[in-house]
Amino acid sequence: MASSPNKLTDRPETLEGQGADVLADVLDTLRLSTRMHGRFELFAPWGLQFGTAPGAHIVLVARGGARLEVEGVPGALELCAGDLAVLPHGGGHTLRDAEGSPVHVLERGACASARGKGSIRLGGDGERTTLVAASFQLGVAPRTLLFKELPHVIHLAADDAATAPSLASTVQLLLTESASSHPGATVIMSRLADILLVQALRAHIMKSEGSCREAGMRALGDPQIGKALALIHERPQEPWTVESLASAVAMSRSGFAARFSELVGEPPLEYLVGWRMIKAAQLLRESELPLSEVAPAIGYQSEASFNRAFKRWDGTAPGAYRRNHRRAS
């Protein structure tokens, strides 16, 4: 039986023989922290404009409908009651009841000052819409294509049969807590928003199998390429080659290389090097391991070769990277 984590930020040990959880690995390196905007009670005509702060955002429609406009994305997305929209890369976005409705610009800190004081009420005296919104600050900028290649908007419709029942349950719990005045409601909302983000990404991965053209997360839904990614994440220190990875997932070398590049967006060994550097950067930020121990932990036989590889990847030497991030934190 897998052991439980000691802290909420710790990951439990996996069962023997169980592959690495690649999605959890990717999110873990981003160091996500949740910022709940809260619950909005809006009466037509209404409009909300969210700034261009970096990080992911989620919008959940509890009642009524909304028109979502995202900077850099043509057109608008119509959201209905129960729909969830995820903006993995953040960016400015606007929500309105209808095209042309006046917009209220949310100033930085406006939601924080209202948190714990009930719903934020805006608009006129027309039809009512209820929204729940949250954002996620990224402690580290995404460097893996698995995250960078996600679409600007992920739309999960309430009536989509492919949406997992567990996601629908989390949506309902979040909506219930957003209307609650009980102690701890804001903490519960933040935790549920965390869960909802992961469930939404997982639903997107599973929904994309065989139908989605963009590279990235959809690779996790492919049995063989998903297994290869799990092997890389589970044992980055292994001296992997294209041949050894192909053999491990029962594919020919050429077939594996082509399929991996198509689904992930880069060749296997490029992904391997990139993931090693991401893990090295995490160790440099979060541990006291000397460089002589970081190097073999991610597959480099010498500190010198690791230093050269890291500098090619980040533009700074590992020691300087560690000092810069320690000063920033």
pLDDT in tens, 79-122: 999 999 999 998 899 999 999 999 999 876 555 544 555 688 99
Candidates 55, 126, 57; CA nearest to 95 is 57
pLDDT of 252: 98
The CATH number for 152's domain is: 2.60.120.280
Last residue of a domain, one of 157, 176, 208: 208
Q: What angle do CA 249, 253, 256 make, to 5 degrees?
A: 55
**Are 239 and 134 in the same domain?**
no
**Are 249 and 310 in the same domain?**
yes
pLDDT of 216: 83
The CATH number for 316's domain is: 1.10.10.60
Torsion, Cα 214 219 221 224, to 10 degrees, reads 140
123 φ/ψ sector (left φ>0, alpha ψ -120 to 50, else beta): left
Angle, in degrees to the nearest 10, between helices 223-234 and 253-264: 90
Q: With bands split at pLDDT 50, 70 and 90, how would you rate the model's confidence at 43?
A: very high
Beta strands per DSSP E along the chain: 32-43, 47-50, 56-63, 65-70, 77-80, 84-87, 93-96, 104-105, 120-123, 128-138, 154-156
Q: Is residue 289 part of a domain?
A: yes
**Average pLDDT value for residue range 280-288:** 94
pLDDT of 14: 43
> Rounded to whole angstroms, how far apart are CA atoms 67 and 76?
6
Contact partners, residue 77, CB within 8 Å, separation at least 6:
67, 68, 69, 70, 85, 153, 155
Q: What is the DSSP letter of 199?
A: H
> Rounded to whole angstroms, how far apart are CA atoms 223 and 36?
35
Q: With bands split at pLDDT 50, 70 and 90, how would you rate the model's confidence at 283?
A: very high
**Are 188 and 263 in the same domain?**
no
- Beta strands across the sheet bearing 84-87: 120-123, 32-43, 128-138, 56-63, 84-87, 154-156
**Average pLDDT value for residue range 245-261:** 97
Average pLDDT over the chain, rounded to an integer: 87
**Are 72 and 204 in the same domain?**
yes
- DSSP SS3 for 143: coil
**Average pLDDT value for residue range 274-287:** 95
Q: What single-letter amino acid sits at 117?
A: K
> 104-118, 197-211, 245-259, 283-297: which has the minimum mean pLDDT?
104-118
**Are 229 and 91 in the same domain?**
no
| 18 has a pLDDT exceeding 60 | no
**pLDDT over 70, % of the chain:** 87
**Are 38 and 95 in the same domain?**
yes
Last residue of a domain, one of 172, 190, 208: 208
> Rounded to whole angstroms, how far apart are CA atoms 62 and 129?
8
Q: What is the DSSP letter of 221?
A: G
Last residue of a domain, one of 208, 225, 259: 208
Q: What single-letter amino acid sits at 86?
A: V
**Are 193 and 222 in the same domain?**
no
pLDDT of 110: 55
Q: Is residue 47 part of a domain?
A: yes
**Are 51 and 168 in the same domain?**
yes
In this structure, the number of other CB atoms found within 10 A of the CB of residue 136 comes to 23
Q: With bands split at pLDDT 50, 70 and 90, how would you rate the model's confidence at 5?
A: very low
> Rounded to whole angstroms, how far apart are CA atoms 266 and 14?
28
Q: With bands split at pLDDT 50, 70 and 90, how would you rate the model's confidence at 11?
A: very low
Q: Is residue 5 part of a domain?
A: no
> 19-23, 37-41, 61-65: which has the minimum mean pLDDT?
19-23
pLDDT in tens, 120-148: 899 999 999 999 999 998 888 888 888 88
Q: Which two tokens stand for residue 3?
A: 């052991």
pLDDT in tens, 154-213: 999 988 766 767 888 898 899 899 888 888 888 999 999 999 999 999 888 877 654 555
pLDDT of 148: 87
| 37 has a pLDDT exceeding 80 | no
Q: Is residue 14 part of a domain?
A: no
**Are 134 and 61 in the same domain?**
yes
Q: With bands split at pLDDT 50, 70 and 90, how would you rate the model's confidence at 20?
A: confident
**Are 189 and 47 in the same domain?**
yes
Q: Is residue 4 part of a domain?
A: no
Phi, psi at 117, each rounded to 5°: -110, 15
The parent domain of residue 126 ranges over 22-208
Q: Is residue 1 part of a domain?
A: no
Domains of the chain: total: 2
Candidates 25, 10, 7; CA nearest to 198 is 25
Q: Is residue 2 part of a domain?
A: no
Q: Is residue 174 part of a domain?
A: yes
What's the first-to-final CA gap in the chain, in angstroms?
A: 36
- DSSP SS3 for 297: helix
**Are 66 and 185 in the same domain?**
yes
pLDDT of 22: 93
**Are 198 and 255 in the same domain?**
no
